[in-house]
Amino acid sequence: YALTGSFWKKKQLFWRVRSFPQGSALSQDIVRNLMHYALTAWGTEVGMTFQEAEPRVGTEPEILIDFARAYHKDSYPFDGPGGTLAHAFFPGDHPISGDTHFDDEEVWTFGESDSGGTDLFAVAVHEFGHALGLAHSSAPNSIMRPFYQGPAGDPSKYRLPPDDREGIQQLYGKGPNSPHPEPTRKPLVPPPQPPGQPPDSPSAPVPDRCSGNFDAIANIRGEVFFFKGPWFWRLQPSGQLVSPRPAKLHRFWEGLPEHVVTVDAAYSRPSDGRILLFSGRQFWVFQDRQLEAGSPKLLTELGLPPGEVVDAVFSWPQNGKTYLIRGEQYWRFDEAVHSVDPGYPKNLNLWEGAPSAPDDVTIGNKGDTYFFKGTEYWRFAPGSVVAEPGSPHPMGPDWLDCPPSAPGPPAPRPSKSPRNCQCEINQ
């Protein structure tokens, strides 16, 4: 799926058929019913409601539906039977936003085979996907594929294909009555500690999270993981660190070989929820905390040239594609066809303001993209490839509960280094 970057900020929208097809076998009531079912197909997945507006009452509905011919005062003239069938305008504040136009010169049908004409319901579901903020998808079974794919079946029983559900739920969240609840995933819990080894053993020296320079940073099911050497910290969605003390890599990621002591990049694959840890020229695939059979795999399997390693990997919610960054270049990987898109690598400066060779890049829980490097981070608003003004920001205070490094006299140092301090049970 691909998002256009625009969506409605309200959960109830109004619609109305302003002009009906002329000379069609479909009655006006059937047309209205088909529109209702086509909108409902999207609404049930995200908890949105669509109400048919009465003509000439109150304000204009967001989605005005027309059957028009040839040039009809927008940028997309129709071309008679065949060719272009319909179009819709993406969400926004303009009066035409959300409006949906069908070519009146098509033979619109409902519930018939291909030979009888074009199934109005199938085309309406596709167009309303645009009216709600989706662009065209290349996924094989998606209703948002740009080409007409034949009748969509009984409108009252129709359900969106998985690619479209995922796309619309990226924009509006999951509806309470979504007919396709995701199976409950096993929560990520820390493994039990081995006996006789307290989790916060003061004898083990640990790195300082406030000094930044992480090897990898990833958002895994809403929690941000900060990797440094054989350690990592976890930041809960509430913004609280699970513990100021890091956890050991190998106690958590079961099956990760002992010789892997740094993670160069990590990300959670949205298509199946697998977690991928990259180190050197290989990567390891985990389901929850368990290593999957077949790991490690080589980066060349992702279409990268032999010999390459990666600085950062992330999946961009805007288009569901995976971005692999190395130095000042990046590749775009398409999970659906399992290869790098043509035309890559491209220069990282297409992400305006982004640092080269970032420590890692991850997506926040509100869809923002964050580049991290050293002790700083750069924020990109959802869908934007331009860093927000004021970037970079210091990451310690914003992410890791660290004091701001204000200029002035140095902070008083403890008389003993943490390595040598003696801790009481309650300290």
Partner 1 sequence: TPEPSAQDVSLSVDWLTRYGYLPPPHPAQAQLQSPEQLRDAIKIMQRFAGLKETGLMDEATLATMKKPRCSLPDVLGVAGLVRRRR
Give the interface with partner 1 as residue ranges (CB under 8 A): 2, 4, 6, 75-76, 78, 82-90, 92, 106, 118, 123, 126-127, 130, 135-136, 138, 140, 146-148, 334, 337, 341-343
Q: In the complex, what is the shortest distance from the CB of residue 148 to partner 1, in angstroms, rounded to a whole number?
A: 4
Nearer Cβ to partner 1 (80/244)? 80
DSSP element (H, E) containing 249: helix 249-252
Question: Which two tokens mark 176?
Answer: 């309470």
Asked if 127 is an active-site residue, the reply is yes
Contacts of residue 367, defined as CB under 8 A and 6 or more positions apart, other chains included, come to: 170, 317, 382, 383
Instruction: Give the pairing of strands 223-228 and 216-220.
Output: antiparallel
Q: In the complex, what is the shortest distance from the CB of residue 207 to partner 1, in angstroms, rounded to a whole number?
A: 43
Q: Distance (Å, rounded) from C-alpha 345 to C-alpha 364?
A: 25
**Amino acid at residue number 199:** P
Nearer Cβ to partner 1 (119/311)? 119
Q: What is the CA radius of gyration of the chain?
A: 26
Q: In the complex, what is the shortest distance from the CB of residue 262 to partner 1, in angstroms, rounded to a whole number?
A: 35
Q: In the complex, what is the shortest distance from the CB of residue 304 to partner 1, in angstroms, rounded to a whole number?
A: 18
Nearer Cβ to partner 1 (92/162)? 92
* Upper half-sphere CA count for residue 200 (Cβ side, 13 Å): 12
Nearer Cβ to partner 1 (28/84)? 84
Question: Which two tokens mark 222?
Answer: 């809403």
Question: Which two tokens mark 52?
Answer: 């048919």
Nearer Cβ to partner 1 (97/356)? 97
294: left (phi over 0), alpha (psi -120 to 50) or beta: left
126: left (phi over 0), alpha (psi -120 to 50) or beta: alpha
Q: Catalytic pick from 127, 182, 258, 328?
A: 127
Q: In the complex, what is the shortest distance from the CB of residue 145 to partner 1, in angstroms, rounded to a whole number?
A: 8
**Amino acid at residue number 408:** G
Nearer Cβ to partner 1 (82/237)? 82
Q: Distance (Å, rounded) from C-alpha 40 to C-alpha 30?
A: 15
* Burial annotation 302-314 (CB, 10 A radius, 16+ → b, else e): bbbeeebbbbbbb
End-to-end Cα spacing for the chain: 51
Q: In the complex, what is the shortest distance from the CB of residue 395 to partner 1, in angstroms, rounded to a whole number?
A: 31
What are the catalytic residues?
127
